Amino acid sequence: MGDRLEEFRKFRERMNARILESDNLEIKRFFALDTRAYDAGALPVKTKELLGLVASLVLRCDDCVTYHLARCQEEGVTRPEFLEALHIGLVVGGSITIPHLRRAVATLDELDGL
């Protein structure tokens, strides 16, 4: 796993812990709600993670895209599936998403050890 991904994960874990150790119960509840949204239900986890990925791309959040790319990969999403999902984000969100698409493909390559 690449250095950039490792750094992202460490910062993410450290700050999540920092946020969750605070006394604000409502923020903790939001984090729990966020996690459960991707649990298996009527829709399978793989579909839900793809929904999270495309929502993150059209809203242009690199960290969120990185997170869902990794989760999708764990759920067995293939490169052609990734490209079709990212293409939907590109068409819906427009060329303004292209810099995020470039970084998404770079992240996929990093996840694949390319």
Answer yes or no whether residue 76 interacts with a second copy by CB under 8 A. no
Question: According to CB under 8 A, which one of 5, 45, 64, 111 is a site residue for a second copy?
Answer: 64
Whether 86 contacts 55, CB under 8 Å: no
Answer yes or no whether residue 74 interacts with a second copy by CB under 8 A. no
Question: According to CB under 8 A, which one of 33, 76, 112, 113 is a site residue for a second copy?
Answer: 33
Answer yes or no whether residue 45 interacts with a second copy by CB under 8 A. no
Rounded to whole angstroms, how far apart are CA atoms 36 and 93? 26
Question: According to CB under 8 A, which one of 6, 7, 10, 37 is a site residue for a second copy?
Answer: 37
Give the residues lining the site for a second copy (CB under 8 A): 11-12, 15-16, 18-19, 22-24, 26-27, 29-31, 33-34, 36-38, 41-43, 47-48, 50-52, 54-56, 58-64, 78-81, 83-99, 101-103, 105-106, 109
